Structure 1
């Protein structure tokens, strides 16, 4: 029996996916680590950014704003080391959907705020316009990375790989 071209293509594809997933895992880890790292030093600003969406009371926004940076950093660290990749990616996907919904809400309400994803957030300075379309597109890209990792969580150089006996 000979090896068919389809079999060779299938083997090559199977070998490439862990590398693609590794790049997605590391990119998403960087996103969470940077986003959380920028917020963790000023939890009051994080609370103001959450409250700017006008979706919850200030007291609730204060709690969410205090938890969010630590959650983002935890997700980033888990993805960086590749532990519980599928679960972490699923949580990332849920958060991205929530963020996209929040940005869409702010846009629909006519609010002029910075999304607070990689900044202090809150009301924009006079004369500045929100870039909600770009924010949503960016978050859709992050959602796609999360989805890819939910679909194909096997990555290289991960704790998951060590635990499963595939440390490559």
Structure 2
């Protein structure tokens, strides 16, 4: 597995729309071996969850701040929220993507909870964000919160076929709130 450099990533942005709505900063002068991505919408979550062998239910998610409508959102000590990216991704079948928090977050006690993104995924990303610190943390909508890197898959991969395709935030977006896992 090798990580793609920014020259190759920018080519994929232009030719395959690898990342849509990428900031001008990232298009002109990305750092490292990937792209910084931005906070686009915050959600609070409440209610019970269930993870079974074949079914699952996540808490209800309520949008509380959105880019273009709100200037910032404050995460208070102990709070857990979900954050959706401004960027949308189109991960080809021969790549996988990994997300890392920007160090500015953990310097004040915020933990970004992210996962790998499978080949074939299309849509914005949704992360967990927990304030483990003892101070309020205001985040401007549009601020860079994470860094994504893309890696090649050696051998045969399998395209994502899960229900989170398209950046869905909660199972509550279904008619029953409970869904079969695929």
Range class of TM-score, shorter chain: under 0.3
Question: Counting strand residues as a fraction of each chain, which structure ranks higher?
Answer: 2
Q: TM-score, normalised by structure 2?
A: 0.23
Query: Rg larger in 1 or in 2?
Result: 1
Question: Counting helix residues as a fraction of each chain, which structure ranks higher?
Answer: 1
Q: TM-score, normalised by structure 1?
A: 0.24
